[in-house]
Amino acid sequence: MKGHEVKELRVPVAEATAVTAMVRGDDGIVYCGLTGKRHVLVALDPRDDSMRDLGEIYPHDEKTKGILDKIHNALVKAPDGSLYIGQGLNISDAYPMDFHSHGYEGGHLLRYEPGSGRLTDLGPQVRAEAIQGMVIDRKGRYIAGYTIPGNRLFVHDLATHAVTDYGRISQMGHHNMVCDGEGVTWGCWNCALAPKGAPVKTDGCYLMRYDHANIPQVRNLREAPRSTFQRTAIEVPSEPFRKVSPAKNKSWANGFDSACRAKDGTLYFGISHPPNLCRFKPGADKVELLGRPVRSSRIPALEEAPDGRIMGLGGFPQMRLFAYSPADGAFQGYGIVAPHYELCLFHAMAVLPDGRIYAGETDSGRPNIYCLTPSKRTQRSTSNHRP
């Protein structure tokens, strides 16, 4: 691999099959969410690449016996350093042929405190639905998530612990959501059939937004602002929904495959098919297409590097590492991460302050994490990109 030393690490959890979420804690540890059975969280110490199984996370449920649990893009860090975990199930995106939700109470939201190891169960969020993805706003006011199989938007207010189910968003439109600097959550929705005269078109993919009203700080409740969920007419440059199929891009969603917020507040999106990298500045009325950093399909992981570049993983069936420089608009490709495997897909990544990248593998049956360490030459060249 160009410019990086690659080290392959195997997650030490017997029933784990994939690494499907990552977040860097305030303690410097990289917390990794897994697809497995109840043991779905490990702590990776970057000092020596050791990993520690954090034990049983989810409560036992006879209804889901025989189906793997998972943390699927549903591991977020709060301002106080605690982690919130959304309980997922290993069923196909929006097409769960192997699962009947009757009698299932729904995925739980849990809070994990890294310092003490304390785990608090905040209960199921949406009846009959597992949690497929979550974000938290930077002030720690709320968590927004979406579910599987119904693709419903829910919001958990962290001050009152009230849960609001906003209903079905649309057909599956995103693999990830993102929260901007003002506390607004963004995702995607698909227009199955546009009424005549509508500002959107049939089969198009558009931004959805959720704005959380901070009601506890409003003195006159008669004038209190309301939380709003909106399907906007801001189009996302992606393939029409009718052309999306797992055979083509291994994803049912044609919107965000990944998303991240840069330090300057800009939002970046990786699209599943075609694999477009896009940029959106909250307040704008258009999503900007930056280019296609990889061939074929998928960009399931994006994160800003310390030098201000946007690092990403994409491509099918062997994923590559790439970088985008907002300073000059240039893309740089570093090649295939694991060329010795015919199939090597990633689901999550974490970028450390020293430039190292941890990438979590999925869909191959290998619960691997790859540590990508930039060479000294690469470090020198990227120093020119520092903002």
The CA distance from 363 to 356, in Å, is 23
* Residue 219, pLDDT score: 42
* Residue 42, pLDDT score: 98
Burial-class residue 248 by CB neighbours within 10 Å (0-12, 13-18, 19+).
middle
* Residue 224, pLDDT score: 47
The CA distance from 149 to 151, in Å, is 6
What is the DSSP code (8-state) at residue 379? H
pTM comes to 0.92
For 228, residues 6+ apart whose C-beta sits below 8 A from its C-beta are: 209, 210, 211, 213
List, for the chain, all residue ranges whose pLDDT scores fall below the cut of 50: 94-97, 215-224, 248-249
Strand partners, 241: none
pLDDT in tens, 196-248: 888 999 889 999 999 997 544 444 444 445 789 999 999 999 988 777 655 54
The number of beta carbons lying within 10 Å of the beta carbon of residue 383 is 10
What is the CATH T-level fold of the domain 4-385, as seen in this structure? Methylamine Dehydrogenase; Chain H (2.130.10)
Using CA atoms of 146, 318, 275, 6 in order, give the dihedral in degrees to the nearest 10: 80
CB–CB of 357/279 below 8 Å?
no
Using CA atoms of 334, 335, 341, 343 in order, give the dihedral in degrees to the nearest 10: 100
Give domain limits for the chain.
4-385
Q: Say if strands 288-291 and 277-280 run parallel, antiparallel, or are unpaired.
A: antiparallel
- Four-residue CA torsion sign, 56, 57, 60, 65: negative
The CA distance from 347 to 93, in Å, is 14
